[in-house]
A and B are shown apart, each in its own frame.
Chain A
Amino acid sequence: MPGLFQPVIRTTRSLVAALCGLLVVSGADARPHRVVSLNLCTDELVLMLADRSDIAGLSPLAADCTLSVLCLSAQGLPVVPANGERLLGARPDLVVSGTFGADRARAVAGTAGIATLAVAPATTLDDVPRQITTVAHALGQDARGASLIAAFRSRLRALAMPVTNEAPRAVMLDANAYSAGPGTLADSVMQISGFRDAGSGARLSLERLVAEPPDLLIRDASPAAPSLAEAIADHPALRARFGRDRMAIVPGNLLLCALPQSLDAVALLEQARKALPRGHS
């Protein structure tokens, strides 16, 4: 559902336009001009923060709309898979990646004397400003980062709900019936939306889920490409137990990386909370 995160993209674009003059003034030429990102989450940060002409490569996942909220903006940009040879071939002057994965490619970049930035993964929405600041600074786009953070903070303030002991309980149903749980972004989004996370991170037993149901079951949208892992969310037992108003659909790409767009998931959950039947809200 691209419509859901369209507003944020638009915001980003108008910001870019507004700050252009400012950048030219402060734009010392130390700013990297050939940025390669090796990780989906850094792809999205780079797409929001860097000038498009400065992006020399993104990971293959950036253009996949089931995973990336900025898949449309990623189209047309070069794809660089995380292997040393292809990475050097892109002639980067800055390599941005996560702290996990692509170790060899990063090592190659380091040996070749290319600047690298490894961004620790964000598991709560609180991490979003820190990540934006770090990446924006490395890209030489501090001002753009600051205004993105300001916009994020004000939307977060508007949306955040308190979690009380009477707050409704929710479970996020992942592929293969695993639940999100403490330490995941989904958990953080649920809490900010005013839900208690009843998931543990373990594989859920459908029997237990039916016998002791949370107030809300959160699931991904039905995928275009079928798999048994995701078909579990369509199990008739869950449909019978939770019905329409106790099941919320949150597109999975909103919860993969902690981004300002993750607040769309918060908005969706708050809608779902308002629609909960009496006795569950």
Chain B
Amino acid sequence: MRTRGILSGPTPWLVLAVVLCGGAALAHGDVSLHVGQAVADLWAGRRSAGAIILGELRLPRLLLAVFVGGTLGVSGAVLQAYFRNPLADSGVLGISGGGALGAVLVYYTGLSARVPLAMPGAGLLGALGATASLLALSGVRAGPGLLVLAGAALSSLFASLLALTLNLVPSPYAAYEVMHWLMGSLTDRTLHDVAIAAPGIALGLALLFASGPALDALTLGDEVATSMGAVRSGPFGTQTRIVLGVALSVGSAVAVTGTIGFVGLMVPHLLRAQTGNVPSRLLVPSFFGGALLLLIADWLTRLIGGATVQIGVVTALVGAPVFLWQVLRLRRSAL
């Protein structure tokens, strides 16, 4: 019963929607394209306009929407289960902000151009630093209020450090790029960006998916989870693997797209009831849910204002009400 197949629940519908929206994202863009011809050109290695648009412009955008959205969804589901707090999310807790700060530090100083994988590496270190600070500030079993408060303080600290960095680095354009890092964007990214983010996302997601049983056990409390051997303490224990998984995947994602808020908050919330509130069953649907959300949000940004609207603006517009709804629910249950 616990291992109800992947085929039940919301996953098949979400996969179908991701495939449809992803296909639409490849087929539609600023210019109309004969997709069949473009695919044939791409396959044959012909560098036609269609092949370049499909392969170098629409494909990276699609892949980033799917993998970054998936990462944010899964990390949100894991963080909410681990902290047993419905308001937990890599953005709210400042983990994304730490990752973005790390990436900004190596990108604008030119380090990333000289050292391969410096970007995801710095994203990982930034996200790890943020998570360590969070745990030191509030602890794992802090009440929902304290955890979110510590996260809010960290988020604004990282945002201001990021803005300061952008003001101090040599490029005159850097200061105007604060929006990319704080609100996120998929515009004009390259396959190189996808390659940069992919290893960390894959490794991090593997760690997070493997933490499913531990998250299930934690619904019974720390002691029972430990008594069943599902949660281990120590330097290679459950906490380390979860923190590393979140930092690796989120750090790599924000290093390329900047911080996109509220995805990790919204997606698990919307899917939880369909998965019987079992944390491990929420992980795969959250991946596809996050991917779907970013695909839709990316389409909306293009619909609203061309390339200049940041995708995080759209996710925040939809996500902030969900966050407030959660706050109201917490208040009602506290009464």
Q: Do chains A and B touch in the complex (CB under 8 A)?
A: yes
**Residues of chain A from 188 to 245 with CB closer than 8 A to chain B in the complex:** 203, 205-208, 210-213, 223-230, 232, 235-237, 240-241
A213 CA to B47 CA in the complex, in Å? 14
Q: Per-residue 0/1 for B102-116: is the Cβ within 8 Å of any A Cβ (1 yes, 0 no)? A: 000001101011000
B302 — nearest CB in chain A belongs to which residue? A205
**Residues of chain A from 63 to 114 with CB closer than 8 A to chain B in the complex:** 66-67
A261 CA to B49 CA in the complex, in Å? 36
- Least CB distance, A74 to chain B, in whole angstroms: 17
- B173 adjacent to A236 (CB under 8 Å): no
Q: Per-residue 0/1 for B161-202: is the Cβ within 8 Å of any A Cβ (1 yes, 0 no)? A: 000000001111110110010000000101110000000000
Tell yes or no: B308 within 8 A of A by CB: yes
A223 CA to B108 CA in the complex, in Å? 11
9-residue interface stretch from B52-60, B86-94, B215-223: B52-60
A245 CA to B53 CA in the complex, in Å? 20
- B171 adjacent to A235 (CB under 8 Å): no
- A211 adjacent to B31 (CB under 8 Å): yes
Tell yes or no: A268 within 8 A of B by CB: no
Tell yes or no: B139 within 8 A of A by CB: no
Residues of A within 8 A of B (CB-CB), count: 28
- B57 adjacent to A229 (CB under 8 Å): no
B33 — nearest CB in chain A belongs to which residue? A211
Asked whether A225 and B49 contact (CB < 8 A) given A177-B307, A207-B31, A232-B188, the answer is no
A207 CA to B33 CA in the complex, in Å? 10
B47, B56, B112, B307: most-surrounded residue (chain A CB, <10 A): B56
- A213 adjacent to B188 (CB under 8 Å): no
Asked whether A228 and B307 contact (CB < 8 A) given A207-B53, A213-B49, the answer is no
A66 CA to B172 CA in the complex, in Å? 10
Selected contact of A206 from candidates B107, B112, B169, B188, CB within 8 Å: B188
- Least CB distance, B109 to chain A, in whole angstroms: 8
Asked whether A226 and B110 contact (CB < 8 A) given A207-B31, A208-B30, the answer is yes
Tell yes or no: B36 within 8 A of A by CB: no
- A210 adjacent to B57 (CB under 8 Å): yes
Asked whether A227 and B30 contact (CB < 8 A) given A205-B307, A241-B49, the answer is no
A24 CA to B204 CA in the complex, in Å? 76
- B49 adjacent to A203 (CB under 8 Å): no
Asked whether A227 and B171 contact (CB < 8 A) given A203-B308, A236-B190, A240-B47, the answer is yes
- Least CB distance, B256 to chain A, in whole angstroms: 11
Selected contact of B110 from candidates A225, A230, A232, CB within 8 Å: A225
- A225 adjacent to B171 (CB under 8 Å): yes
- A203 adjacent to B306 (CB under 8 Å): yes
- Least CB distance, B62 to chain A, in whole angstroms: 13
A67 — nearest CB in chain B belongs to which residue? B172
Residues of B within 8 A of A (CB-CB), count: 32
Tell yes or no: B229 within 8 A of A by CB: no
Selected contact of B171 from candidates A206, A210, A223, CB within 8 Å: A223
Q: Which residues of B contact A67 (CB under 8 A)?
A: 172
Asked whether A207 and B30 contact (CB < 8 A) given A227-B174, A232-B188, A240-B52, the answer is yes
A202 — nearest CB in chain B belongs to which residue? B306
Selected contact of B107 from candidates A66, A203, A226, A230, CB within 8 Å: A226
- A241 adjacent to B171 (CB under 8 Å): no
B58 — nearest CB in chain A belongs to which residue? A207
- Least CB distance, B122 to chain A, in whole angstroms: 14
Asked whether A207 and B308 contact (CB < 8 A) given A227-B171, A229-B173, the answer is no
Q: Which residues of A contact B31 (CB under 8 A)?
A: 205, 207-208, 211-212
Tell yes or no: A146 within 8 A of B by CB: no
- B53 adjacent to A211 (CB under 8 Å): yes
Tell yes or no: B23 within 8 A of A by CB: no
Asked whether A205 and B306 contact (CB < 8 A) given A212-B31, A224-B170, the answer is yes
Q: Which residues of A contact B177 (CB under 8 A)?
A: 227-229
Tell yes or no: A161 within 8 A of B by CB: no
Chain A residues near B (Cβ < 8 Å): 66-67, 175-177, 203, 205-208, 210-213, 223-230, 232, 235-237, 240-241
Q: Taking A205-B307, A226-B112, A237-B53 as given, write out 10 further A-B residue pairs in contact, using a Cβ cutoff of 8 Å, ordered by the A residue number.
A: A207-B58, A225-B174, A226-B107, A227-B174, A228-B180, A229-B176, A232-B188, A235-B188, A236-B190, A240-B56
A-B contact list, 17 entries, CB within 8 Å: A203-B307, A205-B30, A205-B306, A210-B49, A210-B52, A224-B170, A225-B169, A226-B112, A227-B171, A228-B173, A228-B180, A229-B171, A229-B173, A232-B188, A235-B190, A236-B191, A240-B56
